[in-house]
């Protein structure tokens, strides 16, 4: 019976202009979304390649110059001596820490247009290199990018609602419902058939078109972890779609007119996709306000001024604590620019630490709040899962930052003793200078975060679906 | 006649429970957004004022040091907010809050508030502007989709016209009815908004905000009028109320969701901007090799030295009556400034071309026009951010020049070994910024305003035209 209903429904839909119009539009926006996402990924990759190239060139130059100095053909400059660890660990030999886009990054631009994706790590404090976000017109950032995630979160529900807002109301208005129900078929089966066919059509359209888009745009689905991410993606698209289908069934089950159904569903869409997220945002910023960055800038400045005035004292204490770092040629030079710099910087970082920690703590609190409040709207849940899958989430950025912190510490650990002991680097040592390598989050970690989100979709779908079925029993066939 | 129709429409809407519910929701959201906007404005304003005072204090009391170290220490500039920004935060969350003004470099603004927010903020912030630009049009659609199409289905349209009512009167009457219903929520909301503005602003800045506020109200009225016109037009043309509703919802989606993103994507493609990496490299290149690419830094330094020697008629640095370090530092600044002027102007011009293009694209979606106008008047658009950034940069050049000049005159023979005290830092005036006058903002927004007015006229005219020709 179900198969027959679906078959008949297919004939009906095929004859209707709406399906082709809406389906065609959907194909266009999916293609455009993927195209845009891919363009952004390419832009990032090109930038990372240019940065890597810059690093290679600087190291080749350092080696060449060092060899030249050893051979006596070149003279070292006072502030640019390639053998000086202080010079190399600053601009000349600074290495890039990079977070390359994932295989599925084109899916969702997410927060990646706001966060930096590479840093030039040097011996200077983190504050000097951490603000490396991409240049962008703020008007464009405000609007957001037209990517596949936008299509899925905002437009995909509208497509579903456009095809199912008058699921029963139309049959009733045309008088075909009563005729249909005169046949030996349950209303429930009838609705399942209608919804089932639409769901199958839309899912095939959404997932099939996106897959085609990925293949055409050169996404490597064989890359490590790509398949796992892809499965998660299919899961979230299917469940998010199921949520809107379930809502359409419930609204139709009340037996109101098509126009009323359209208004009600548009209202629900507005509620879940626009209103709840913006109210959640208000709640989060009110309950866990981030301390002011302006205040942080001032605190950093106070700390560095304090450390600078104590400069020589700090240096003496530093050598007291680290006698092994006293240069081989005798007494530490209290006026040496670099040694003093390190002492002052270490102290500044120590003083600023509590302020920065307060920031991290408050940002983490916001994130925890969001993790709970997101279940109020399937749109927020879906956004979070899509960003996680694409690797454009806050979580992956945090992961990157922690790797950068570790690398920065390793960098200082490698160079600071050499600077303080005033040793000179040799040409062969350049290859041993620490290098950053980005360790991707494991698919397991991502799946763990994403599965909770999927559960946050599955439970409402089940509840609403169950309610819809209950309501259908009381469906007013006549009148 | 028009008044009578309007009154009937108004009464009908008022009796409709759906309208009352929707209006109540929109009104509450407006209230919440004005409240949070007000709180946000107060907090940011206090922070920025305190920080600006503190950074000045730090500058004045930095103690004994080399003038060049003082120039490196520099000051911070924090962008002041206009009181009207409580209604529209514009791009403020997506531009840095402050910039460090120091020797040698024109820095970028740092700390975009959006970086400290969660991904949920990307759904859009709840501000009075978003409520007015997105939700109110939806309310208009709900109020007017059935205006003609519904009456036609009920058969009342034929009756009405048989009474000899002019069709254009009918359109104007219905438009007036919708306006009256919207007035029920907009008038109190505006009064509350003005009170919030008065509480937020000191008396002087409140008076200055009034012309901007009046223009803002006018712009929003044009926008709503355009929407009412479109809704009546569609309702007159549509075969049924259901079709009218679906078409209008489609227009709303196109206007509010698709247009802003598509327009910014296209603008970006038409006027591409470099990556920050390429931008920094290009500036670095020009500073090292000279703007013409054939004049490396060391050659320029040598040329400058010879020119200075010639000017003072000496052959050795020691014989100069001034500190050569002070002069050459300033020369380095002048050369750098030319490079920064070139590159930042190119970048910011590209941004403004992108924005201008988006204003032009409002021919397809009125939201783009009102968005641009609204944030322009609230002082939160990119153009006014640029105005602040340029003013801060001018101040940077001014105080660096002062400090280098002080060094040139006083540091003879000691150069970088010369130490100056607080009396030197006091010679530098404090940074002061005045937002561009309303006239300038209006000129920058003339395209949006024109297109919005055009939307209003065409939509209303179109509605009357469609009503005159509608089938019964």
For B93-121, the pLDDT digits (tens) are: 999 999 999 999 999 999 999 998 899 99
Q: Determine the angle formed by the axes of helices A337-373 and A378-390, rounding to 10 degrees.
A: 140
Provide ipTM, 2 decimals. 0.93
User: Which of A10-24, A186-200, A316-330, A387-401 is most confident?
Assistant: A387-401
Decide: pTM greater than 0.90.
yes
- Residues in chain B with CB shorter than 8 Å from the CB of A160 are none
Q: Are residues B257 and A383, on separate chains, in Cβ contact within 8 Å?
A: no
Q: Are residues A280 and B48, on separate chains, in Cβ contact within 8 Å?
A: no
- Residues in chain A with CB shorter than 8 Å from the CB of B241 are 259
pLDDT, average across residues A8-20: 83
- Closest in B76, B121, B354 to A297, CB measured: B76
Instruction: Give the least confident one: A240-254, A386-400, B2-16.
Output: B2-16
pLDDT in the model for residue A409: 94
Q: Which residue of B has its CA nearest to A258?
A: B242
Cα of B75 to nearest chain A Cα, Å: 10
B280 at the A interface (CB within 8 A)? no
Minimal CA–CA distance to B78: which of B42, B51, B59, B102? Answer: B51
What phi-psi label fits residue B293: left (phi over 0), alpha (psi between -120 and 50 degrees) or beta?
A: left
Decide: B170 and B147 in contact? Cβ < 8 Å: no
B17 at the A interface (CB within 8 A)? no
DSSP-derived secondary structure for A100-122: PPPTTGGG--TTTTTS-SEEEE-
Which helix (H) or strand (E) is A202 found in, with range?
helix A187-216
- Collapse the DSSP code of B163 into the 3-class scheme (helix H, G, I; strand E, B; otherwise coil) and give the result: coil
CB-side neighbour CA atoms (13 Å) of B53 = 5
- Separation between Cα atoms, residue A45 and residue A205, nearest integer Å: 30
Minimal CA–CA distance to A33: which of A188, A152, A181, A186? Answer: A152
Give the residue carrying structure tokens 């609403």: A464
Which residue intervals of A254-336 are DSSP H helices? 258-269, 276-287, 293-309, 311-321
The confidence band for B411, taking pLDDT boundaries of 50, 70 and 90, is confident
The confidence band for A143, taking pLDDT boundaries of 50, 70 and 90, is very high
Percentage of chain A surpassing pLDDT 90? 48
- Rounded to 10 degrees, the C-alpha dihedral A372/A373/A379/A385 comes to -20
Q: What is the pLDDT of residues B259-307, one digit of tens each?
A: 999 999 999 999 999 999 999 999 999 998 887 777 788 888 888 999 9
The confidence band for A318, taking pLDDT boundaries of 50, 70 and 90, is low
Residue B351 has pLDDT above 70, yes or no: yes
What number of residues does chain A have?
Answer: 479
Residue A79 has pLDDT above 60, yes or no: yes
pLDDT in the model for residue B260: 95
The confidence band for A217, taking pLDDT boundaries of 50, 70 and 90, is confident
- Separation between Cα atoms, residue A3 and residue A25, nearest integer Å: 28
Cα of B242 to nearest chain A Cα, Å: 5
Phi/psi of residue A124, nearest 5 degrees: -65, 170
Q: Which residue of B has its CA nearest to A139?
A: B91
Q: What is the mean pLDDT of chain B?
A: 91
Decide: B241 and B145 in contact? Cβ < 8 Å: yes
Q: How far is CA A24 from CA A194, A202, B247, B312, B431, in A?
A: 21, 12, 17, 78, 57
- Closest in B62, B246, B277 to A51, CB measured: B277
Q: Helix, strand, coil % (nearest 5) of chain A?
A: 75, 0, 25
Cα of B464 to nearest chain A Cα, Å: 25
Pairing state between β B98-101 and A118-121? unpaired
- Separation between Cα atoms, residue B65 and residue B420, nearest integer Å: 6
User: Which of A467-476, B141-150, B206-215, B347-356 is most confident?
Assistant: B347-356
- Residue A11: Cβ within 10 Å count: 10
Whole-number CA gyration radius for chain B: 29
- Separation between Cα atoms, residue B140 and residue B367, nearest integer Å: 14
- Tell me, what DSSP letter sits at residue B427? T
Percentage of chain B surpassing pLDDT 90? 65
């Amino acid at each position: 019976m179900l198969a027959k209903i679906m078959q008949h429904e297919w004939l009906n839909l095929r004859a209707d202009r709406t399906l082709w119009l809406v389906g065609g539009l959907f194909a266009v926006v999916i293609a455009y979304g993927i195209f845009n996402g891919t363009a952004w990924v390419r832009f990032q990759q090109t930038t990372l390649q240019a940065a890597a190239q810059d690093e290679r060139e600087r190291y080749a130059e350092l080696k060449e110059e060092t060899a030249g100095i050893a051979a006596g053909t070149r003279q070292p400059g006072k502030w640019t001596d390639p053998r000086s660890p202080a010079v190399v660990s600053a601009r000349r030999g600074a290495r890039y820490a990079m977070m390359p886009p994932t295989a599925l990054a084109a899916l969702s631009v997410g927060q990646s247009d706001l966060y930096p994706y590479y840093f030039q790590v040097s011996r200077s404090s983190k504050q000097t290199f951490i603000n490396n976000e991409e240049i962008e017109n703020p008007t464009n950032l405000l609007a957001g990018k037209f990517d596949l995630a936008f299509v899925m979160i905002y437009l995909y529900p509208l497509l579903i609602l456009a095809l199912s807002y008058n699921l029963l109301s139309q049959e009733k208005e045309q008088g075909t419902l009563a005729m249909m129900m005169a046949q030996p078929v349950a209303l429930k089966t009838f609705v399942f058939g209608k919804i089932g066919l639409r769901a199958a059509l839309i899912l095939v359209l959404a997932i099939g078109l996106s897959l085609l888009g990925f293949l055409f745009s050169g996404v490597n689905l064989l890359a490590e972890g790509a398949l796992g991410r892809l499965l998660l993606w299919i899961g979230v698209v299917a469940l998010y779609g199921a949520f809107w289908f379930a809502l359409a069934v419930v609204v139709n089950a009340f037996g109101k007119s098509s126009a009323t159904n359209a208004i009600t569903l548009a209202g629900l869409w507005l509620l879940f996709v626009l209103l709840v997220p913006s109210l959640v945002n208000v709640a989060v910023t009110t309950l866990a306000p981030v301390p002011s960055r302006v205040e942080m800038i001032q605190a950093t400045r106070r700390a560095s001024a304090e450390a600078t005035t104590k400069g020589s004292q700090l240096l003496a204490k530093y050598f007291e604590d680290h006698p092994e770092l006293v240069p081989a040629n005798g007494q530490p030079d209290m006026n040496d620019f670099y040694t003093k710099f390190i002492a002052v910087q270490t102290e500044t970082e120590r003083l600023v630490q509590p302020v920065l920690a307060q920031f991290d703590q408050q940002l983490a609190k916001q994130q925890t709040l969001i993790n709970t409040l997101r279940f109020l709207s399937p749109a927020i849940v879906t956004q979070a899962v899509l960003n996680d899958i694409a690797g454009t989430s806050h979580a992956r950025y945090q992961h990157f930052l922690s790797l950068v912190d570790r690398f920065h510490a390793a960098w200082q650990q490698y160079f600071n003793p050499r600077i303080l002991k005033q040793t000179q680097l040799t040409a062969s040592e350049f290859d041993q200078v620490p290098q950053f390598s980005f360790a991707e989050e494991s698919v397991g970690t991502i799946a763990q975060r994403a599965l909770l989100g999927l559960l946050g979709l599955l439970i409402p779908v089940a509840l609403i679906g169950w309610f819809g079925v209950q309501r259908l029993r009381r469906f007013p066939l006549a009148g | 006649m028009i008044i009578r129709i309007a009154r009937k429409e108004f009464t009908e809407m008022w009796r409709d429970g759906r309208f009352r519910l929707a209006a109540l929701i929109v009104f509450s959201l407006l209230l919440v957004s004005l409240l949070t906007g007000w709180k946000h404005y107060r907090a940011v304003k206090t922070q920025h004022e305190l920080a600006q005072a503190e950074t000045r204090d730090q500058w004045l009391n930095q103690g004994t040091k080399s003038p060049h170290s003082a120039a490196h220490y520099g000051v911070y500039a924090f962008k002041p907010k206009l009181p009207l920004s409580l209604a529209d935060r514009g791009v403020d969350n997506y531009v840095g809050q402050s910039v460090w003004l120091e020797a040698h470099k024109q820095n970028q603004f740092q700390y975009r508030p959006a970086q400290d927010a969660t991904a949920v903020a990307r759904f859009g912030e709840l501000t009075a502007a978003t409520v007015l630009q997105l939700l109110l049009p939806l309310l208009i659609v709900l109020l007017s989709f059935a205006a003609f199409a519904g009456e036609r289905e009920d058969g009342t349209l034929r009756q009405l016209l048989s009474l000899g009512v002019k069709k254009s009167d009918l359109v104007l009457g219905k438009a007036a009815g919708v306006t009256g219903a919207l007035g029920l929520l907009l008038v109190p909301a505006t009064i509350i908004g003005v009170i919030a503005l008065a509480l937020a602003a000191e008396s002087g800045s409140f008076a200055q905000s009034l012309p901007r506020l009046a223009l803002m109200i006018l712009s929003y009225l044009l926008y709503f009028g355009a929407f009412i016109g479109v809704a009546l037009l569609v309702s007159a043309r549509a075969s049924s109320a259901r079709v009218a509703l679906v078409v209008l919802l489609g227009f709303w989606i196109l206007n509010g969701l698709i247009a802003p993103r598509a327009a910014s994507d296209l603008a970006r493609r038409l006027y591409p901007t470099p990556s920050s990496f390429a931008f920094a490299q290009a500036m670095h290149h020009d500073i090292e090799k000279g703007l013409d690419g054939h004049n490396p830094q060391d050659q320029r330094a040598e040329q400058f030295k010879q020119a200075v020697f010639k000017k003072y008629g000496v052959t050795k640095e020691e014989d100069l009556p001034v500190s050569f370090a002070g002069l050459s530092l300033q020369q380095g600044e002048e050369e750098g400034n030319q490079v920064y002027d070139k590159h930042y102007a190119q970048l910011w011009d590209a941004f403004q071309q992108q924005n201008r293009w988006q204003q032009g694209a409002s021919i397809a979606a009125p939201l783009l026009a009102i968005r641009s106008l609204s944030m322009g008047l609230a002082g939160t658009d990119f153009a006014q951010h640029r105005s602040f950034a340029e003013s801060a940069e001018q101040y940077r050049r001014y105080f660096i020049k002062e400090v280098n000049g002080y060094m040139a005159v006083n540091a003879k023979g000691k150069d970088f070994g010369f130490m100056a005290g607080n009396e030197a830092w006091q010679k530098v005036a404090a940074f002061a910024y005045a937002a561009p006058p309303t006239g300038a903002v209006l000129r920058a927004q003339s395209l949006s305003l024109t297109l919005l007015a055009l939307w209003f006229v065409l939509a209303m005219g179109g509605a009357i035209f469609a009503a005159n020709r509608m089938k019964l």
